[in-house]
Structure 1
């Protein structure tokens, strides 16, 4: 499947959250604004989290509830290349533990939950979502897709989307670089600014042979 092109990347997520069952009634539509700019962000997937942190990240909505929401949502507005909404639905329909809760994001005094859709075996993320608590109902306010993509909090309330860039000759372990996009929260929406790309230098550090 096309979404698994970058499996095995060195920055893969170190945690996966247990999911239960949940269901929503009718299909919803993703609210997608325009897209992003970019200061660098620390990859949260490199850090092991405590059970207390994991529990806090899953409130008020659990990964099981977000999985159910996504299965009943029209994802045709999903941004970025390499993320087919139909494949996301298909994958989630057969994988009950592939929605992972990431650290929440705060902007303008409002807290948003962040989730990624990742492969079960190696936590390769191919879509990430920002969810607002709308009077007790989860609502998707930003959806991005791509190769090993994750959303993390940046400075001044910004939200950073970091995605691996693979050239045709790249092995699974080693992308050619990273694309970084910055989203600003403005007038109740996440607005995308500039996009930056940074190559990866795999040269050995000085002194190493």
Structure 2
């Protein structure tokens, strides 16, 4: 009897320890931080961002420029043509006086330049700007007074400007000639390398 009384507390203690041991690191009692790291589990890789030479700008045709910012920068440009300045000063709805043309890279620096047309309310284009997209904002690097131009980049990266030209006998509505000019970036500015007149039929 005495032996039973001595063994009863010991058996109870062993049973309690067994129960607690079973709960310590399984589905029962969970101790945060007690579980070892699972070396077989895959961890998500840390994303890396590749640096670019010109932050904030993407090269290629997807790049666009804010015409409102172009207008603001042109108005502080001291070399802006007076007629263009008058149009832009009175132009409160930007789409009525400026529109985007093609994106080109005639400077061959990997950062696009945007062709921007200036026109009257009736969409008659009378001039064009070539805008460099720079971190400090859009900057005019070239402009041309020309009527109804079509502008493209040549395979060599030159700027090809086709425009309407009035012949002496043409009515005011209907120019019959066209002029094709080619401009090239010489490292500092755009220079005209050729000009050809094409008479109408």
TM-score range, shorter chain: 0.5 to 0.7
Residue of structure 2 in register with 1:184 after alignment: 184
The answer as to whether partners of 1:128 and 1:151 remain within 8 angstroms in 2 is no
Distance in 2 separating the partners of 1:176 and 1:195: 17
- Max Rg structure: 2
Number of corresponding residues: 136
Residue 74 and residue 168 in structure 1: after superposition, are their counterparts in 2 closer, same or farther (change >3 A)?
farther
Deviations 1:158-178 (A, max 9, x none): 101222111354224421311
TM-score when scaled to structure 2? 0.60
Matches within 5 A, 1:1-209: 56=62, 59=64, 61-75=65-79, 85-95=81-91, 96=93, 97=95, 98-107=97-106, 108=108, 109-121=110-122, 123-201=123-201
- Structure-1-length-normalised TM-score: 0.58
Return the structure number with greater strand share: 1
Structure 1 unmatched runs, 5+ = 1-54, 77-84, 202-209
Instruction: State the Cα RMSD in Å.
Output: 2.1
SS where residue 141 of structure 2 aligns? strand
- Contiguous gaps of at least 5 residues in structure 2: 1-60
Contact 2:111/2:133, CA 8 A, preserved across alignment: no
Q: In the alignment, which residue of structure 2 is the partner of 1:47?
A: none
CA distance in 1, matches of 2:74, 2:169: 33
Specify which structure has the higher proportion of helix: 2
Q: Which runs of 4+ in 1 moved over 3 A?
A: none
